[in-house]
């Protein structure tokens, strides 16, 4: 079974631009979560989607948004990029196992904002 | 205030040593995860647990719900265990909170 794929793997943008990142979950998984990882803040939860609905959202400004499609693929969008948005963005595909949501992480997209 | 606290932040061990990483949390949880991150960024979920103890090879994870504490043990450590280990909790409100990670280096 193929793992979680994220595209692109690396991205360079300038302040003020917007960016869209893509995540394809493992086949059969219906939930996708997004995380931001920076050296200063560590890992932080962005949002979680399940069956095209946002189930949960972390404490990020409205510039960060996402969506999930009927085939479970997900995109996240960051508008009006700031230097502080430079980070590794990780997506995780989730399946329910024993009543709990087990997470499988993708390789991440490294975003650099200049 | 961090919802998840890990200790130690950095750990250096000789090959073969028994290693313990601790995690304390302050929120009600539905599950606790131990994650491993190697240089380059890839994250692997090692354990997901809500009670008791789980074992996988040389790795053991325990959780005490009453004390809001979990430990990750590595027996007979090996240089390939060198990585950052991250404790994460899924709160009962469905939010995820992460510890800052423990950077482990195992010296041959």
Please tell me which residue of chain A has the smallest CA distance to B94: A56
Nearby residues of B39 by Cβ (< 8 Å), 6 or more positions away:
B83
B31/A88 touch (CB, cutoff 8 Å), yes or no: no
Cα atoms in the Cβ-side hemisphere of radius 13 Å centred on A37: 22
Do the beta carbons of residue B84 and residue B103 sit within 8 Å? yes
The stretches in chain B having pLDDT less than 50 are none
pLDDT at B62: 97
Is pLDDT of A78 > 80?
yes
B48/A103 touch (CB, cutoff 8 Å), yes or no: yes
B30/A100 touch (CB, cutoff 8 Å), yes or no: yes
Which residues of chain B make contact with A44, given a CB cutoff of 8 A?
A: 98
Which residues of chain B make contact with A104, given a CB cutoff of 8 A?
A: 45
pLDDT at B92: 86
């Amino acid at each position: 079974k193929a793992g979680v794929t994220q595209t692109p793997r690396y991205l360079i943008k300038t302040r003020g631009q917007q960016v869209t990142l893509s995540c394809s979950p493992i086949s059969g998984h219906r939930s996708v979560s997004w995380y931001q990882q920076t050296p200063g803040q560590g890992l932080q939860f962005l949002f979680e989607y399940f069956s095209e609905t946002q189930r949960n959202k972390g404490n990020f400004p409205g510039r960060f948004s996402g969506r999930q499609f009927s085939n479970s693929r997900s995109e996240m969008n960051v508008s009006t990029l700031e230097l502080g948005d430079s980070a590794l963005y990780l997506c995780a595909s989730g399946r329910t196992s024993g009543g709990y949501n087990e997470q499988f992480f993708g390789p991440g997209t490294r975003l650099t904002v200049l | 205030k961090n919802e998840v606290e890990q200790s130690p932040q950095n750990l250096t061990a000789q090959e073969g040593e028994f290693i313990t990483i601790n995690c304390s949390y302050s929120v009600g949880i539905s599950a606790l995860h131990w994650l491993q991150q190697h240089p380059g960024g890839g994250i692997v979920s090692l354990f997901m647990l809500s009670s008791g103890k789980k074992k996988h090879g040389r790795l053991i994870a325990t959780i005490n719900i009453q004390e809001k504490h979990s430990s990750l043990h590595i027996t007979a450590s090996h240089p390939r265990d060198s990585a950052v280990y991250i404790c994460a909790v899924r709160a009962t409100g469905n939010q995820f909170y992460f510890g800052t990670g423990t950077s482990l280096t195992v010296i041959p």
